Every structure is written in C-alpha cells, then in structure tokens.
Amino acid sequence: MRDNKTGLLWYPALKKESNWKNAIARCEALGLRLPNQDEYFDAEVHGIRKALPDLKGKSYWSSSRIDPVFTIGYNSKKGTTYYDFFFTPYSVRCVK
C-alpha cells in the first residue's frame, strides 16, 4: 500500500518474526528496508495503519536505534513506539 502523502510503499508483513539485525537483513535481501520511527508515526497520522489489516495488534521493528543494545519498535495495537533489546523477536514489515 502506498502512502500518497509520503510516497512510501508499505509491503505486507513477513511471515516469520525476527530479531532486529535479521529483520534488517531480510528486508535488504528483498531490496527493501525497515521503516524508521518517524515513518510509523506518519502511517498513524495518514491512516495507513487502519488500511493494513495485518498491521493491527502486532509489534514490529523499526530501523531506529538508540544505542548498541536498544532499538525502537512499533506497537500497532496502540499506535505507539517502544524501546526493546535488539535480540527480541518481533514481526517484520518492509518499505520502499
């Protein structure tokens, strides 16, 4: 699904959860990338989250990182971001 306001194309969620480093690698292998924290906020504001049924109720990785141990994820149920360890498995959604 394309966000017409940003031009960002949101791809369907990948079937298997991954840790942060593997999520990045999986998206890159497809010629895509993980969305960053701001792009998830834009998706909230532009209504993209409501239009993507597989986005609802899951936690996804973002490409945003705080330090060597913590990264920023996205909680689609609440529409908020959170901090977690990079080795925790979460769902993966790629963008282009």
What pLDDT is stored for residue 48 in this prediction? Answer: 72
Question: How does the average pLDDT of the chain come out, rounded?
Answer: 85
Q: Please state the domain extents for the chain.
A: 1-96
CATH superfamily of 1-96: Mannose-Binding Protein A, subunit A (3.10.100.10)
Tell me: the pLDDT tens digits for 50-93? 767 666 678 888 898 887 778 878 887 777 777 788 888 988 99
| 27 against 53, higher pLDDT | 27
What pLDDT is stored for residue 23 in this prediction? Answer: 95
User: Mean pLDDT throughout 21-42?
Assistant: 93
What pLDDT is stored for residue 2 in this prediction? Answer: 83
What pLDDT is stored for residue 54 in this prediction? Answer: 66
Residue keyed to tokens 């990264």: 71
Side-chain half-sphere of 25: how many Cα atoms within 13 Å? 6
Q: Residue 27 — very low, low, confident or very high, per pLDDT cuts 50/70/90? A: very high
H helix or E strand, kind and range, residue 62: strand 59-65
